[in-house]
Amino acid sequence: MAQSHKLNLASQGTSLKALFSGYLMVVAVGYLMALVQIQLTHGLADGKYGLSVDDIVYSYYGNRNNSLLENKLSGSMKPMASDEDRAAIVTWVHQGATEAAYEATGIKQIFEANCIPCHNADSGMPIPDYTDFKNIKERAVVDTGASFQSLARVSHIHLFGIAFIFMFVGLIFSLASGVPKPLKVTVIVTPYAFLLVDISSWWLTKLNPNFAWMVIIAGGAMAMSFAFMWCVSMYEMWIMPRRHTDERDALLDE
């Protein structure tokens, strides 16, 4: 007759542990890739590696001393063109960014060689199509950061996607028996609360750059809660059973 198992991670069978561990491993790699992506996009908004408050301000509120093209050329798009080509584009922007000058001064050729291979309608990426001069002209004006349309699109994607990720990570972590109930509940709720803070702070920073700190604080809180749940879950599945059996019940309402 099969033995009954207490409802905790340590007492589960190898198959269920493998299922949980596989999911946690893949999600952890995905989280790391998201951090890399943030560093290579928002983290270069000020032209320097590493995420800073200025990067957040430039990404959402904008760097209103320059045009979006100038800010991109000195930030995340800097490696995409030579110093000479970037200087030529900046000069063209300062001279009014007219279509006549775009055609006559070689700026069009610079865009075709360095920008349009990615910035085209067939790329499948959520970036402007620079085969249409109108899209270039729109980005040669003062940089006001992310548009409200893009914020709405990215907000709903993050709210749905990240909520699902933390639901399953939290479900696995809820079976950990070695964490006091108040701490467990706090850690499970933290990413949801700070996900709302994170998304809200994008919109608030768009209106006022002083809210940029909230983006970093919310992102850090979510990362710490994820790391804590991940480490505790893996420990209780694979390391703790080698040391002792666990007869505790991990139900949150016990």
Q: Is 142 helix (H, G, I), strand (E, B) or coil?
A: strand
Q: Is residue 31 within 8 Å of 199, Cβ to Cβ?
A: no
3-class DSSP assignment, residue 67? strand
Question: Looking at residue 235, what is its pLDDT?
Answer: 96
User: In the beta sheet, which residues pair with residue 67?
Assistant: 142
| 47: Cα separation from own chain's centroid | 18
Q: For residue 64, is pLDDT > 90?
A: no
Q: How confident is the model at residue 2 (pLDDT cuts 50, 70, 90)?
A: very low
How far apart are the C-alpha atoms of 109 and 84, rounded to whole Å?
13
Q: Which two tokens stand for residue 190?
A: 């933290």
Question: Which whole number is the average pLDDT over 53-64?
Answer: 91
- Confirm if 216 and 143 have CB atoms less than 8 A apart: no
Percent of the chain with pLDDT over 70: 97
- Binned at pLDDT 50, 70 and 90, residue 49 comes out as confident
> pLDDT (tens digit, 9 = 90+) per residue, 11-40?
889 999 999 999 999 999 999 999 999 988
**Residues shown for the chain:** 254
* Region 109-117 average pLDDT: 94
Q: What is the mean pLDDT of residues 220-244?
A: 95
Cβ distance 8 to 172 under 8 Å? no
Q: What is the mean pLDDT of the chain?
A: 90
Across the range 67-83, mean pLDDT stands at 87
Band the pLDDT of 109: cuts 50, 70, 90: very high
pLDDT at residue 171, rounded to an integer? 95
Are 161 and 203 a contacting pair, CB within 8 Å? Answer: no
Closest CA to 252 of 171, 193, 169, 195: 171
Query: Per the structure block, which two tokens stand in for 247?
Result: 């007869």
Grade residue 252 by pLDDT with cuts at 50, 70 and 90.
low
Helix (H, G, I), strand (E, B) or coil at 220: helix
CB 29 within 8 A of CB 246: no
Residue-level pLDDT at 65: 84
Rounded to two decimals, the pTM is: 0.77
In the predicted model, is pLDDT for residue 5 greater than 60? no
